[in-house]
């Protein structure tokens, strides 16, 4: 067996140019495929992270009928006991109580339908990223008379600026039309233009007088210590408070959850297609090597080298080419993915399009370690499969005819 391995190793370097071309193609295929995969994972993770930290969060609690029509009377049942339970729960990092009203925001330049979110500014600053997204003005610190935070897209649509007034019209709990004037205290810009154009933030105290009870809330948003705790936390809270509807971020935004679920199989399919294309090149190259050495193989068979050893020799030649290319391709991919995972790739030229999908213009590549291991195994498997055809072709050679061939 040692002799067969030595012969196979020497054979791949008999035609260095051909072997190097195959090795280079495998290296470039692995590098381009893994780097593309890392970009896709990075984009998706940044999208989810931005959504969770800004407006989605890990778990949300509502009245069962609230999410369908944002009815101002669809309040959470037993909010005081829920708050006490959340404060004791070890899975929870932070939570926020909110009043949410569907309203019409208007100025002299037009009107837009918005979701008015009443928050507790001092608590919210440790809970969501809105305070970090302020690009103009401040976060509920200087404006004393009913401050409001609006998104940049909404500000552009309604031609609003700092200290300008905006009227918010809505139906109160008695069915009467109400109008409240707010003063723009800050303009924020998140990675999601849809969110920036349809959501405004006000002080919860400026809305609480509209309700009979001071404890009235429409939403409790929760951040868990770990995103993987979301499902367990949801089941736990659903059992404790069955009158309310508890949902995870995947249920609130099913399209985002679906993308995450299909991302892993999609990426493996993508890499499989690249490796499948490479396998045709490897099989073709090894078949050429077999046909060029037709006379040599015939002589080896004539002097007693059995067909099993011929098969193994061709098999080892193919695997050795892969074993040379794999460490180089994986190392190149790891170094580049790690580098751009720290530095990032500036996609600001596509910023407007990315924001429409809730993505940031700065992309950080990411690829878990298990991907490298699985792709290495997948590459070796594909290489093994691609070696079978040329090895089988070698077994079909007739020694007498092969020796007489040119």
Extract the tokens encoding 26. Answer: 């495998």
What gap in Å lies between CA 282 and CA 322, rounded to an integer? 9
Q: What is the pLDDT along the chain (406 residues), one digit of tens a residue?
A: 777 788 778 877 877 888 888 899 999 999 999 999 999 888 888 888 888 888 889 999 999 988 777 888 899 999 989 999 999 999 999 999 999 999 999 998 899 999 999 998 888 888 888 888 899 999 987 667 889 999 999 999 999 999 899 999 998 888 889 899 999 999 998 878 888 999 999 999 888 888 877 778 999 999 999 988 999 999 999 999 999 999 999 888 888 878 878 888 888 899 999 988 888 888 888 887 777 777 777 777 766 667 777 778 888 888 888 889 999 999 999 999 999 999 988 877 776 666 666 667 788 999 999 999 999 999 999 888 888 888 777 777 766 665 666 5
Place of tokens 């093994």: 384
Please report, for the chain, how many H helices and E strands are present, in that order. Answer: 16, 12
What gap in Å lies between CA 300 and CA 295, rounded to an integer? 9
Three-state secondary-structure class, residue 120 = coil
Place of tokens 């995103």: 227
Q: Please, what is the Cα angle at 253 between 250 and 170, to 5 degrees?
A: 135
**CB 178: neighbour CB atoms within 10 A?**
15
What gap in Å lies between CA 132 and CA 53, rounded to an integer? 11
Q: Which of 197, 87, 103, 188 is nearest to 137 (CA)?
A: 188
pTM confidence score: 0.77
pLDDT reported for residue 223: 92
With a CB cutoff of 8 Å and minimum separation 6, the contacts of 91 are: 224, 225, 229, 232, 233, 236
Q: Please, what is the Cα angle at 306 between 304 and 307, to 5 degrees?
A: 145
Three-state secondary-structure class, residue 268 = helix
Extract the tokens encoding 189. Answer: 């810009």
Q: Which of 85, 81, 116 is nearest to 99 (CA)?
A: 116
pLDDT reported for residue 13: 82
Q: Which of 246, 252, 332, 266 is nearest to 44 (CA)?
A: 266
Give the torsion sign (CA, 61, 66, 70, 74): negative
DSSP 340-388: HHHH-EE-GGGHHHHHHTT--SEE-----HHHHHHHHHHHHHHHHHHHH
pLDDT reported for residue 342: 92
**CB 267: neighbour CB atoms within 10 A?**
20
> Which residues pair with residue 178 across a beta bridge?
170
On whether the CB atoms of residues 373 and 52 are closer than 8 A, the answer is no
pLDDT reported for residue 327: 94
Q: What is the DSSP letter of 73?
A: T
pLDDT reported for residue 356: 62
What gap in Å lies between CA 123 and CA 220, rounded to an integer? 13
What gap in Å lies between CA 238 and CA 228, rounded to an integer? 17
DSSP 129-172: SGGG-EEEE-SSSS--SSEEEEEHHHHHHTT--TT-EEEEEEE-
């Amino acid at each position: 067996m040692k002799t067969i391995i030595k012969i196979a190793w020497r054979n791949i370097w008999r035609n260095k140019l051909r072997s190097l071309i195959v090795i280079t193609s495998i290296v470039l295929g692995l590098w381009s495929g893994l780097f593309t995969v890392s970009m896709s994972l990075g984009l998706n993770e940044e999208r989810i992270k931005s959504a969770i930290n800004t407006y989605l969060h890990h778990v949300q609690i509502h009245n069962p009928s609230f999410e369908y029509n944002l009815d101002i009377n669809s309040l959470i049942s037993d909010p005081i006991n829920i708050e006490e339970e959340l404060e004791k729960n070890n899975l929870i990092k932070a939570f926020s109580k909110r009043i949410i009203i569907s309203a019409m925001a208007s100025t002299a330049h037009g009107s837009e339908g918005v979701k008015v979110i009443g928050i507790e500014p001092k608590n919210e600053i440790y809970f969501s990223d809105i305070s970090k997204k302020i690009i103009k003005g401040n976060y509920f610190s200087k404006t004393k008379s009913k401050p409001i935070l609006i998104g940049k897209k909404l500000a552009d649509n309604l031609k609003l600026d700092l200290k300008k007034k905006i009227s918010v019209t809505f139906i109160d709990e008695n069915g009467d039309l109400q109008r409240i004037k707010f003063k723009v205290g800050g303009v924020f810009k998140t990675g999601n233009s849809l969110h920036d154009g349809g959501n405004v933030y006000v002080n919860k105290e400026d809305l609480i007088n509209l309700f009979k009870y001071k404890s009235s809330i429409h939403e409790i948003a929760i951040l868990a210590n770990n995103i993987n705790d979301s499902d367990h936390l949801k089941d736990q809270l659903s059992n404790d408070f069955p009158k309310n509807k508890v949902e995870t971020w995947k249920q609130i935004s099913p399209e985002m959850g679906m993308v995450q679920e299909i991302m892993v199989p999609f990426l493996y399919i993508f890499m499989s297609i690249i490796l499948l294309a490479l396998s045709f090149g490897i099989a073709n190259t090894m078949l050429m090597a077999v046909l060029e050495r037709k006379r040599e193989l015939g002589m080896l068979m004539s002097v007693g080298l059995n067909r099993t050893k011929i098969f193994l020799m061709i098999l080892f030649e193919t695997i050795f080419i892969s074993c040379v290319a794999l460490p180089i391709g994986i190392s190149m991919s790891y170094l580049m993915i790690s580098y751009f995972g720290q530095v990032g790739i500036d996609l600001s030229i596509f910023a407007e399009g990315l924001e429409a999908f809730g993505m940031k213009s700065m992309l950080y590549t990411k690829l878990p370690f298990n991907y490298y291991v699985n792709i290495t195994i997948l590459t070796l498997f594909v290489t093994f499969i691609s070696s079978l055809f040329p090895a089988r072709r070698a077994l079909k050679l007739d020694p007498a005819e092969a020796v007489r061939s040119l």
